[in-house]
Structure 1
């Protein structure tokens, strides 16, 4: 039998038990309890009866007392809301052990993904699951209602076999009624305070207290509508305010009338302490000025448009078009065109640029639009060669030093994304040595140089160069946001071949095409791991299932907007699928999304085709294709890429044929400063030169495992065994492959029951690092679960 307590019934004695009480019952617990007990027995008859009371924290006192009296006699199940005040009798039920208390934690990302998958009947893109988790905070009811509304409104749609949320946060009607109950009956000052937080979260407490009285803020916090948190990393004791739940913030924004929005935005502008400093403040100030209808600088709007280009291109378009309306300029047209490309409207973007070129009234404007048109041909139309020709002609006709530096920096990036790495490095160095180059040109050139250094194999130099670019971007709150994110990606690219657990760049969960700085205040959501990079890093580490999952997501993301890394996403997914034995799927991906001229890694097309050929057993064809890929890398000056191709080719050739690539590999690896790749190359050379030296091969295997390259290590073992060298048996006999000190420490904590996140917090490591160490522990022991880990450590 199911009973439900309500807030209204709380004021009426025995309201929740009315269905079990005789009409003549009095209001005395000692009389009601026997009557309810008898009613339950009569209802149950010979069957076992379970009495369920939902929302038991809302029970009136007498009803709760009757339930306490039934404890031990009837099967009771009560649900209570965490944190809610409970009648004493309900608290006694679990405190004194009459009932077991089971705390249901909110869903995490994985739980959210599983439930959404069950609701939609298909696989859910990981970024969508992460975003829905952030919006609902793991609340199962909010999540189910949001998903149902998303299906009805087509905000939740299937693309390439994955379900994606492709709209802003909405409040479903069923949730709106519940959320509105928390907002009804608030006075005008409280509504103003909530409106201010809706327009400015995270909003500094001192700013809000200039708009409403401090006691209003305290009252809203006490009611659980707002929550305070440390601002600026907890420095100087500053606090900022957010809504206690994201859905509540969405409900307030839904109720915000135009007149109140205008008045509150004006109040926020008047209350802000200074000019915006952080990127989030730049965007918020621009939006307040638009909402308030005040005078606004067009340059400020364009800065804000740049900052939200990749997280919210629709807002970027609105800001840039408003800037053009208030203060027409070439830069405003360029910003509008960029937003249109990100929104999947490249033809409209070209039309905007061509009109701006026809309307240009100065040489500077003509140059800026011409640069943008060349860039559009490269990024949106995927024609780097054609764009490079346009830039070369423009450079020949331009005499202004600053403009020439701008053109030169763009040429460096076009060389990079056209697979001409050495040319990109040369062009970038030329701009950086030019004393007339402006800030944008220097940032672009620095980015091109950092990425090119990684590809040519100078990873330590690449780390320094990328760090300098990232640091330079921090000095400017607007700057070039894509450069900030790409500089972090360049750091990660260099780290992949240097460290077992590279830092994965962050991205906005809704778009995910670009790496972005980890700025929750700007994005409105917690950033998530960039699927493209995460997939590649997992492939290098040997985690093919994880890599495939990430790269499937990345390929869909890179199919939109400029999609700079579409070729890389497609190639890496093809290779992972082929290596996992899913050759038909690999061929489908290669057929539908073949690598094209836009790629920073040269030789992708033959590499992808070689992966499929090798999986099909077409060894001779695969070797020829790898030779073609290696030649492309050599022409581009990409020593790191060539070494990777040669190691791959040696694996296809097998141990007997590895000697045929040894000379080229030995020469190429001399140019590469990348410990993980060098270790793989040296192991390949050891197999080729002396496959009978078991001790040497064991050392290479252990080194590869320490560097988190288990697939390469297994390749060495198999190659040696194919030549008659029982490396596996020798390795076991010598005892090499034991756990390192760090692996032992992490294994012990995991065996004690701590989660990966708890271990990371205790040892001040990233969760990803803990996962990598545990993966190596599992392979070495070998075990497959924490239970088996405990048994292995005990042995």
Structure 2
């Protein structure tokens, strides 16, 4: 492989360049832990200023030269231009005079400035203080600014910027560039958690894995197993840790095995120690309560961490395995005294890692909790621990361990192993577990079959075959998901019914199970309330698809309190409710709220719902006409949903990616995405609607508008008949952009009347304007359509409007102005290439021609394309000549069918 990639940090670099290029310039210090990238940022900023004509004066300070006067400046003072001066003091004076006399043309770049010898530091102070020479310094956290450098700080002559580690997206980019492919999400999470974005630490772990053959391609990205940190990296911080007192080292070692450490677990006698560690830069406090008077933090959510990711490795490097295990056990016993489930999980994991004896029920709880929070490898390990010790008499525990293990295997994509584990879970459940346990097994097995194997019909058939074996609670748990799988399998009757929360459940189940209750009791309790949750999820899903906003909102509200409590049974309940809430905003026509909601959820680190939100945002950009924004998100959604799809969106995402590429004129990619659909995907109404859009754009590009219209109308009809009204309305907007047809108006009118959602009513009005060629209505609807996220439809209507009522000059002008405004954000789909090829127009000439035909002024076209007005006018001259027209009026008539 080539050299290690460098990730740009434009925000930091741009601020530095602006500050150092200003007059007068202000000196800058980059501070942060070792390896965080201070030197790289400084070098990038220096290169940018060098490109602007600055002469860079590099200085590297070394600890070994701190006691050598002018040791850091010796390479500069040894330059040939100072050779006539034998005395070092004279050379220094000449250097200061030379640089100081032309301060605006130089930039001092000092790496590890606190390690400067006193004389060099004094020279630096003089250049900055007296001559205002721009200076860029780096400093590690552990090195205090003393002497002349401290005076720069005290006199407010320098700005200090803290350099953080790489963010998650930057870490992903770096790994992608190094490994040549997207890292598997679990690999990214591990490396990001371990290194905290420290580029040096990350580089060493990756290079070490490459050297030892622990990098491999997997089905969901490149997989990498990080090993221990190389000794030479540990050595960079070991000497600093040697300065710790015994009490400080003991607490730091505790953090090394159990960070993040809850501040509330800190003993009173340790508070001074913690404050000293924080003051010394060894420990950082984060979270609520961390900013209070004690650095140790006293808030319930305050946590303590070692300040540098390599500290943990260095602290544990000299400990024998037995000593580490004693440390883990000690930390675990203290954490178990706290009531928080995440803290309890950490404690149980520490005990398991230490090889300590852990109660079976605690281990089983840890397995279920790990799966619920996405730590599937840990879930499998804990479940295996239970299975290794449980006997046939422990049927409830065996069934729970098997189903937890199976669900975790499914999440990791180990499909065949998951099916075997589910079969063992069912056998254990039938051997003596409660009926509720059997229901939970089949719930998770069905989700695996429908979503991971893409066989919703098989999942539904299996559930139907065992319903008679279940009691009312078990059936209530399964029926909402059964409805979903039937819907995915093409059963059009599902959305016509309402999913009602099970009224037969005993509401006395509201109390949590008694402490010490066994797996069977816990399963019965969980299944009862999880049935209420799955009913709420089913109601919300069906109501949002049908545009029944009030029903959906009520179901979401009833499900929220249950989603977090029963995440072990329904791990993705919260995310499914979030998706329904997003669709409610869409149905209300509040696209800004929906977009902000989706963007917030998408940016949650390591969320297993990331594919859902990439898909949602791609859909928003597509119908908003922002194809360049939609394309990368649509492709990303496919990759993410292949990794984790808990709601059956992989098929729609593949069809969405095909639609985006078809609109952009990339027919080969569009067909490749359509070909990637599984046979069972085509039974799903969501897929049928979205695939029809892709096929329509492909047909339109081939000059076959009749086929495009037929595909869309047929799909919309199926969607409306099945009660999938919201997505059917979206597909109807594409039909309105490509053609007009009375049947589309009839279909969306029926959908709007059935739903009452503002979004569907807006689409109905747009269909009415399109069908009746009502130019005034089209112009009036444009703002509302744009607000609802239908900018592409708004642009299509107002672009067509001048041809509907050409004699109304004022109305034509309003339509063209509106179209011109929308064209700044809406990208028109690629039209048949032969239209411009026959005329000999280039891609840019075609863009200019269509804009001019819409009566955009040359200045407006130039601003949008980023060229000069003269360039636009030159293009127009060529266009007129090639098309044989004499001006914009004839150009408009020539291109009217393509606008």
Please give the alpha-carbon distance, in whole angstroms, between the structure 2 residues aligned to 1:167 and 1:97. Answer: 47
- Counterpart of 2:112 (choices 48, 55, 65) is 55
2:398 to 329, 333, 358: 329
Residue 535 of structure 2 is aligned to residue 445 of structure 1 = yes
For the pair 1:565 / 2:668, whether they are aligned, the reply is no
Q: C-alpha deviations, 1:239-272, integer Å up to 9, x for none?
A: 6223255734764697475434432333233323
- 2:462 corresponds to which of 354, 372, 390: 390
Distance apart, 1:15 and its partner CA? 3.3
| Alignment match of 2:148 (pick from 79, 89, 107) | 89
Aligned residue in 1 for 2:276: 219
Aligned: 1:312 with 2:407? no
Whether the aligned pair in 1 keeps the contact of 2:612 and 2:641 (CA below 8 Å) is no
Counterpart-to-counterpart distance in 1, 2:290 and 2:788: 33
Deviates more, 1:412-421 or 1:2-11: 412-421
Deviation of the 1:290 alpha carbon:
1.8
Report the CA distance between 1:62 and its aligned residue.
1.9
> Displacement of 1:76 after TM fit?
7.6
User: Deviation digits for residues 262-292 of structure 1, max 9, x if unmatched?
Assistant: 32333233323745344x2343233133235
SS of aligned partner of 2:466: helix
1:728 and 1:130 map into 2 onto residues whose CA distance is 55
Q: Which runs of 5+ in 2 are unaligned?
A: 1-56, 79-85, 99-104, 293-297, 391-396, 508-526, 823-859, 867-899
Q: What is the aligned partner in structure 2 of residue 686 from structure 1? A: 769
Mapped pair 1:178 → 2:247: no
SS in structure 2 of the partner of residue 266 of structure 1: helix
Determine if contact 2:107/2:134 at 8 Å carries over to the other structure.
Answer: yes
Name the structure 1 match of 2:601. Answer: 506
Match in the other structure for 2:669: 585
Could you say which residue in structure 2 is the equivalent of 1:521? Answer: none
- 3-state secondary structure, aligned to 2:72: helix
The TM-score normalised by the length of structure 1 is 0.76
Secondary structure of the structure 2 residue equivalent to 1:213 = helix
Separation in 1, partners of 2:290, 2:131: 54
Instruction: State the distance in 2 between where 1:599 and 1:648 align.
Output: 19
- Quote how far apart the aligned CAs of 1:700 are: 0.2
CA separation in 1, counterparts of 2:580 and 2:538?
9
> Judging changes above 3 Å, is the alpha-carbon distance between structure 1 residues 104 and 246 closer, same or farther for their aligned structure 2 residues?
closer
- Which of 708, 717, 729 lines up with 1:622 in the alignment? 708
Q: CA 1:337–1:190 in structure 2 vs 1: closer, same or farther (change >3 Å)? A: same
Structure 1 residue 721 corresponds to structure 2 residue 802: yes
Q: How does 1:346-361 map to 2 (within 5 A)?
A: 346-358=415-427, 360-361=430-431
1:191-210 equivalences in 2 (<5 Å): 191-209=249-267
For 2:814, the equivalent position in structure 1 comes to: 730
- What is the CA distance between 1:395 and its match in structure 2? 1.1
Corresponding residue number in structure 1 for 2:137: 79
Alpha-carbon distance in 1 for matches of 2:239, 2:795:
61
Report the secondary structure of 1:603's partner residue.
helix
1:601–1:641: 8 Å Cα contact kept in structure 2?
Answer: yes
Structure 2 CA distance for partners of 1:176 and 1:460, relative to 1, 3 Å: farther
Contact 2:795 2:819 in 1 (8 A): no
Q: Which residue of 2 aligns with 1:522?
A: none
Contact 2:805 2:812 in 1 (8 A): no
Match of 1:408 in 2: 479
Cα deviation 1:371-427 (Å, max 9, x = unaligned): 55444433332211122122112113x253333333334423423544547526747
Q: Does 1:268 align with 2:331?
A: yes
Is the 1:513–1:554 Cα contact (8 Å) retained in structure 2?
no
1:337 positional shift: 0.6
The 8 Å contact of residues 450 and 458 in structure 2, kept in 1 or not, is answered as yes
The change in CA–CA distance for 1:254 and 1:581 in structure 2 (over 3 A counts) is: farther
Q: What CA deviation, in whole Å up to 9, does each residue of 1:710-740 have, x standing for no partner?
A: 22211221232343557562257899999xx
Cα distance in 1 between the residues matched to 2:679 and 2:202: 38
Per the alignment, do residues 264 and 131 of structure 1 end up closer, same or farther by CA in structure 2, a change over 3 Å counting?
closer
How has the CA–CA distance of structure 1 residues 529 and 253 changed in structure 2, closer, same or farther, with 3 Å as cutoff?
A: farther
**C-alpha distance in 2 between matches for 1:736 and 1:53:** 52
Cα 1:168–1:73 change in 2 (3 A) is same
Distance 2:562 2:272 in 1: 42
CA distance in 2, matches of 1:377, 1:421: 20
- 1:470·1:484 contact (CA, 8 Å) conserved in 2? yes
> 2:181 & 2:470 partners in 1: Cα distance?
58
Give unmatched runs, 5+ long, in structure 1: 23-29, 43-47, 516-527, 739-779, 787-795
1-side partners of 2:614 and 2:224: how far apart? 17
Shift of 1:350: 1.5
- Give the whole-Å Cα distance in 2 for the aligned partners of 1:619 and 1:11: 82
If you compute each CA radius of gyration, which structure gives the higher value, 1 or 2? Answer: 2
Instruction: Supply the RMSD in Å over aligned alpha carbons.
Output: 4.6
Evaluate the alpha carbon distance shift between residue 87 and residue 234 of structure 1 in structure 2; reply closer, same or farther with a 3 A threshold.
Answer: closer
Q: Could you tell me how far 1:570 is from its partner in structure 2?
A: 0.7
| Correspondence 1:362 to 2:467 | no
Mapped contact 1:684–1:716 kept (Cα < 8 A): no
Q: What are the equivalent positions in structure 2 for 1:142-181 lying under 5 Å apart?
A: 175-181=233-239
CA pair 707-407 structure 1, distance change in 2 beyond 3 A? closer
Instruction: For residue 494 of structure 2, give the secondary structure of its aligned residue in structure 1.
Output: helix
Structure-2 separation of matches of 1:422 and 1:578: 32
- Correspondence for 2:737: 651
Return the offset for 1:134. 7.9
How far apart, CA to CA, are the structure 2 residues paired with 1:349 and 1:410?
A: 19
Q: CA deviation at 1:580?
A: 2.3
> Cα gap change, 1:467/1:140 in structure 2, threshold over 3 Å: closer, same or farther?
same
Task: Report how far residue 560 of structure 1 moved.
Answer: 2.9
**In the alignment, does 2:406 pair up with 1:343?**
no
TM-score computed with the length of structure 2 as normaliser: 0.68
Cα shift readout 1:130-186 (whole Å, capped 9, x = no counterpart) = 9988876676655666665676678888889x9867667985776544344544454
